[in-house]
Chains A and B, each alone.
Chain A
């Protein structure tokens, strides 16, 4: 199906472990984004990518790594998970026309114990 999909939907991990959250879109959108959603903070931008092999930091990038070797995929890696990274993570995409509508995946609920 066309759209933007995230996996896994739920993830429980332990402090110190590496975790990768996946994001895949079928629209061939140039721009992709990772947000985290926390109570009291709303949605905050972690990283974004304007095209394959081009990534840049957002508001809260510390502790996260991204890559974008293919236009359709934008994985987010927590290299050594911490409890403060317990959150709901949303991937989003839009086309290259700025400004344009932003579309979200269904989110990944991550718990770090």
Chain B
């Protein structure tokens, strides 16, 4: 089945810094989503982005489907950005998401 790899696995930032998280996938997809899991465990859908670029406040995401990768940019990071960021892609007609193992982000004040 399709493989999803995220990098880096861990990232420590000082508040105010920018960061880029990467998601590589092994096959063509028709669905790619980014999620944030906060320190309390809640999973929040950040972006649905099978291709192109989207922005939401300090977060933006770009997916280059032909090259099988997606990037999540976090600008001017805040302590509330801490948590784990998951990339998930869908394969098959049912579109069930396959998750990467996540990038754990810690933003220090």
Closest A residue by C-beta to B95: A98
Whether B48 pairs with A100 at a CB distance below 8 angstroms is yes
Interface of B, helix, strand, loop or mixed by DSSP: strand
Give the residue among B30, B86, B97 with the most A Cβ atoms within 10 A: B97
Interface residues of B, count at CB 8 A: 24
A-B contact pairs, 29 of them (CB 8 A): A33-B96, A35-B99, A40-B101, A42-B100, A42-B102, A43-B86, A43-B88, A44-B99, A48-B94, A50-B94, A56-B94, A98-B31, A98-B90, A99-B30, A99-B31, A99-B48, A100-B95, A101-B48, A102-B88, A102-B97, A103-B45, A104-B35, A104-B42, A104-B43, A104-B44, A106-B41, A106-B42, A107-B41, A107-B42
Binding site for B on A (CB under 8 A): 33, 35, 40-45, 48, 50, 56, 58, 88, 90, 98-104, 106-107, 109
